[in-house]
Amino acid sequence: MNISQRGLNLTPSEPRKIYDEAQKYSGVIDLTLGDPDLPPPENVKIAASRAIMDGKTRYSANAGLAELRQKIADEADREYGIDFDSSKEIIVTVGAMEAAYLSLWSLLDPGDEAIIVAPFWINYREVVKSLGAVSVFVYTRQEDKFIVRPEEIEKQISSKTKVLILNSPSNPTGAVIPADVLDRIAEIAVKHDLTVISDEIYSRLVYDNKKVESIITRPHMRERTVVINGFSKRYAMTGYRIGWALAPADLIRVMTQMTENIVACAPLSSQYAAIEALSEQTDEAYIRREFEQRRNCVISELERTENISCVGIPATFYGFLDVSASGMTGEEFAMLLLKNKKVALVHGSAYGGDVYRNFVRIAFTMDCEKLKEAFRRIREFMKENKNE
């Protein structure tokens, strides 16, 4: 078969590679994939089942059910104090993943540049590449707790730059961009006429009673921001495949036309489940509470583990750990740890190249007992592979 060059150019997913490798062993503790193990709220499950049983199983409007878009608009109003027109400025998508794809597809022509803050969620780079556009990376540093330096974004802007992608809280570092840094980034975006894609999928998994802010609330940003969000993480609904984007009407119109050509609409039963999820009956607090406890567990295990450090995990269910003191690169560490101790995690370079060769990412989507066992094995591994 003659496969397209575009298709052949895609990079095989490194986290998936490790995940697949891990399937060859038994008794593996798998810290690779960011897929919450908790169940969605009970009323959400019932709403999804009921939708199927009631025959609500046909297509909806391409942009999603009007009732769901209205609920998303209401939530956006509460979150940002911004009034969105639910019939023009919102699209319901097949996960935040489709929202990311549609927005990049609608904003980038071949040769255009998108600035991506590294380390990053791999999909951004791959989608940009598949569109014949170019990713330009801004590398955050451990010493800055992986918070981007706005002046470094500005340095990377060229006449071809169209888009800046922000992901706060971040996969893979858990970093949350502070308010004053968002102010500066917004000024830069306005000055250089950039569109910002703000991926806020982890906005509800923020710990220590903190809240994350969105760049869309900054002056003149509403007209140049695409907010991406979804139900996967906050309600533990990854398999429902449902998310959304908020953006100016002209962009949503193009995204909606394109979705007609890819998926027609998000699965209808999931749309009904999403309406229920955004209703007042839903108590989703157990999900954040559970991940916060696990975060605490990971931090206390890390304190007992020599030669691995982490600058903190203020949000998400990921930890980006520095293993340089082990004398191994992240990749060597990941491969050997899997082989010798049956703990699977992903090397940091998968999320931004060589700059992050000394890191590994863990996803703590399992209970504390398993996490403790994972760290017990990691400590044993470190002892056996001591860097003399």
Q: How far is the CB of 274 from ligand PMP (least distance, A)?
A: 11
Q: For ligand PMP, which is the closer residue by CB, 123 or 324? A: 123
**Among residues 171, 195, 256, 365, which is the contact residue for ligand PMP, using CB under 6 A?**
171
CA dist 159 and 362 (Å) reads 37
**Residue of closest CB approach to ligand PMP:** 95
> Interacting stretch for ligand PMP, rule CB under 6 A, among 60-68, 93-101, 126-134, 345-353?
93-101
165 binds ligand PMP per the rule CB under 6 A: no
Q: For ligand PMP, which is the closer residue by CB, 270 or 329? A: 270
Site for ligand PMP in 1-20 (CB under 6 A): none
Q: What is the dihedral of CA 301, 148, 198, 349, to 10 degrees?
A: -60
34 binds ligand PMP per the rule CB under 6 A: yes
Count of other CB atoms within 10 angstroms of residue 132: 14
Q: For ligand PMP, which is the closer residue by CB, 15 or 330? A: 15
CA dist 203 and 281 (Å) reads 20
Q: Distances from the Cα of 55 to the Cαs of 44, 99, 160, in angstroms? A: 17, 27, 48
Query: Which residues share a beta bridge with 244?
Result: 92, 229
Q: Which x/- pattern over 240-279 shows residues binding ligand PMP (rule: CB under 6 A)?
A: ---x------------------------------------
196 binds ligand PMP per the rule CB under 6 A: no
Site for ligand PMP in 94-153 (CB under 6 A): 95-97, 121
Q: For ligand PMP, which is the closer residue by CB, 32 or 238? A: 238
| Residue type (1 letter), 272 | Y
**Among residues 198, 232, 270, 307, which is the contact residue for ligand PMP, using CB under 6 A?**
232
Contacts of the segment 154-157: beta carbons below 8 A, 24+ positions apart: 154/188, 154/192, 156/115, 157/115, 157/188, 157/192, 157/194
CA dist 293 and 303 (Å) reads 15
Crossing angle for the helix pair 268-277 and 42-53, nearest 10 degrees? Answer: 150
Q: How far is the CB of 199 from ligand PMP (least distance, A)?
A: 5
> Interacting stretch for ligand PMP, rule CB under 6 A, among 54-62, 230-238, 263-271, 362-370?
230-238
Q: Which x/- pattern over 200-229 shows residues binding ligand PMP (rule: CB under 6 A)?
A: -x----------------------------
Q: For ligand PMP, which is the closer residue by CB, 76 or 97? A: 97
CA dist 111 and 135 (Å) reads 10
Tokens of 139: 């590398």
Which ranges of the chain does DSSP label H, i.e. alpha helix? 5-9, 14-22, 42-53, 66-80, 95-107, 122-130, 150-155, 179-191, 249-262, 268-277, 285-303, 330-341, 368-384
Q: How far is the CB of 385 from ligand PMP (least distance, A)?
A: 30
Residues interacting with ligand PMP, by CB under 6 A?
34, 95-97, 121, 167, 171, 199, 201, 230, 232, 238, 243
